[in-house]
């Protein structure tokens, strides 16, 4: 049974305090400007980010954001922003991550930057190939569209692997921002060195022709020796029970094989070497076109982004990783009856979302607070037509951070969600 939406517009003291602190740090809004949206459902409280800034990532009590040509760092869950430095391309940031040691790795379309001193300074870093050479982004046909090399859909991109924090993520690209090769990246030293873990083949449907998402006839990008083609990476996640990483990709089957794959990768730290294999490839209306991969107690959870020709194979699924290719051994936990590729699981709470262009809801959220025993869906339509994505783990005060995108990929706003006890 799906719960009916119930919302209020009332403010909460802690919410208001956080908003006020952030606004004071950035400069007061014009008199009469509307307060950021805040409210509640039976399962969670929610609030929008402060006006005038974009909070791009969070970790513990820290948050990283940008406003007015500056990048900013908070150490009190976004109440104040005492650390910052000029960064003229701030509005072009497509990715960021706060590491456990406090380093901040962030990127514009095709450039990657690192700060190791709380944003007092930052420097551009060069990605390395598997043989240690500099990985040089391609020269774009349209300089304004260099490609989204580092943008990714999940908010969780690092894990403790044998006592070392390891970042691993893949780029969601070839939609807007120009054509880009499809890569999986990794770092084992706090973002100081970022390397290529895997490069997909040259997809002729997404060559650099100067358009927003690439197209046929453009310059081919990717590994010419790899027959595995994809449009982009949907998710990468780590399973500590197997000491292995899983990745899933999209999107369609365009006559050159499937673009929807699940891959499994293992990393040899002593050799600094990866081994990847394709577990399964399938069509776009299958459950394997998906995202939101999470591992809990040795089980793999994911949510289907199934589209294309009907019938659709949609829902939130769970199985043993060894049974991933055996559909009869999958458990369907919930079917929202709409495509989605974004989900996070933390402390027994599952939060996922609707893809706005395919949903009857404005801003649709899917939630379970008991690990999938019961479910509810809510429409936070006061935010407009939005697709929630990039779910970050809860901050020190218990708030998840989520991007709200127009269409399904263009950055628009940020929402914070706090599950109720």
Domain ranges of the chain: 54-419
Q: What is the tens place of the pLDDT at every residue in 109-128?
A: 999 999 999 999 999 999 99
* Confidence band for 32, pLDDT divided at 50, 70 and 90: low
- The helix (H) or strand (E) run that includes residue 331 is strand 331-334
pTM as predicted: 0.92
129, two tokens:
């190939």
User: What's the average model confidence in pLDDT over 244-269?
Assistant: 97
Contacts of 133 (CB under 8 A, 6+ apart): none
- For residues 103 and 190, give the distance between their C-alpha atoms in angstroms, rounded to a whole number: 7
Is the CB of residue 301 less than 8 Å from the CB of residue 343? Answer: yes
Query: What's the pLDDT tens digit per position in 200-232?
Result: 999 999 999 999 999 999 999 999 999 999 999
Q: Which CATH architecture has domain 54-419?
A: 7 Propeller (2.130)
């Amino acid at each position: 049974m799906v719960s009916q939406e119930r919302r209020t517009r009332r403010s909460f003291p802690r919410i208001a305090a956080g908003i006020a602190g952030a606004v004071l740090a950035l400069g007061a809004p014009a008199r009469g400007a509307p307060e950021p949206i805040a409210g509640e459902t039976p399962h969670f409280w929610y609030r929008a980010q402060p006006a005038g800034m974009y909070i791009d990532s969070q970790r513990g009590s820290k948050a990283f954001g940008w406003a007015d040509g500056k990048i900013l760092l908070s150490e009190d869950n976004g109440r104040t922003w005492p650390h910052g430095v000029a960064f003229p391309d701030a509005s072009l940031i497509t990715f960021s991550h706060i590491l456990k040691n406090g380093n901040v790795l962030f990127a514009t379309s095709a450039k990657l930057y690192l700060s190791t001193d709380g944003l007092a300074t930052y420097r551009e870093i060069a990605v390395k190939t598997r043989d240690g050479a500099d990985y040089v982004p391609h020269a774009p046909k349209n300089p304004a569209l260099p490609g989204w090399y580092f943008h990714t859909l999940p908010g969780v991109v690092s894990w403790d692997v044998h006592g070392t924090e390891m970042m691993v993520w893949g780029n969601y690209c070839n939609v807007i921002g120009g054509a880009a090769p499809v890569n999986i990246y990794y770092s084992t030293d706090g973002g100081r060195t970022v390397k290529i873990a895997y490069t997909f083949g040259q997809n002729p449907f997404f060559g650099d022709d100067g358009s927003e998402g690439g197209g046929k006839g453009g310059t081919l990008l990717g590994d010419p020796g790899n027959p595995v083609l994809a449009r982009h990476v949907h998710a990468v996640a780590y399973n500590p029970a197997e000491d292995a990483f899983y990745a899933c990709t999209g999107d369609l089957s365009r006559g050159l094989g499937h673009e929807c794959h699940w891959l499994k990768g293992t990393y040899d730290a002593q050799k600094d070497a990866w081994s990847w294999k394709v577990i399964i490839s399938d069509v776009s209306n299958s459950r394997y076109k998906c995202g939101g991969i999470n591992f809990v107690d040795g089980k793999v959870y994911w949510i289907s982004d199934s589209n294309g020709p009907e019938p659709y194979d949609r829902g939130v699924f769970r199985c043993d990783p060894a049974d991933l290719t055996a559909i009869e051994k999958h458990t369907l936990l919930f079917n929202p009856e709409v495509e989605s590729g974004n989900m996070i699981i933390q402390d027994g709470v599952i939060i996922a979302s609707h893809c706005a262009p395919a949903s009857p809801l404005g801003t649709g959220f899917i939630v379970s607070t008991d690990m999938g025993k019961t479910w509810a869906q809510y429409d936070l339509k006061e935010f407009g037509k939005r697709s929630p994505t990039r779910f970050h783990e809860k901050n020190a005060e218990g708030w998840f951070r989520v991007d709200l995108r127009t269409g399904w990929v263009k950055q628009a706003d940020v929402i914070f969600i706090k599950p109720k006890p």
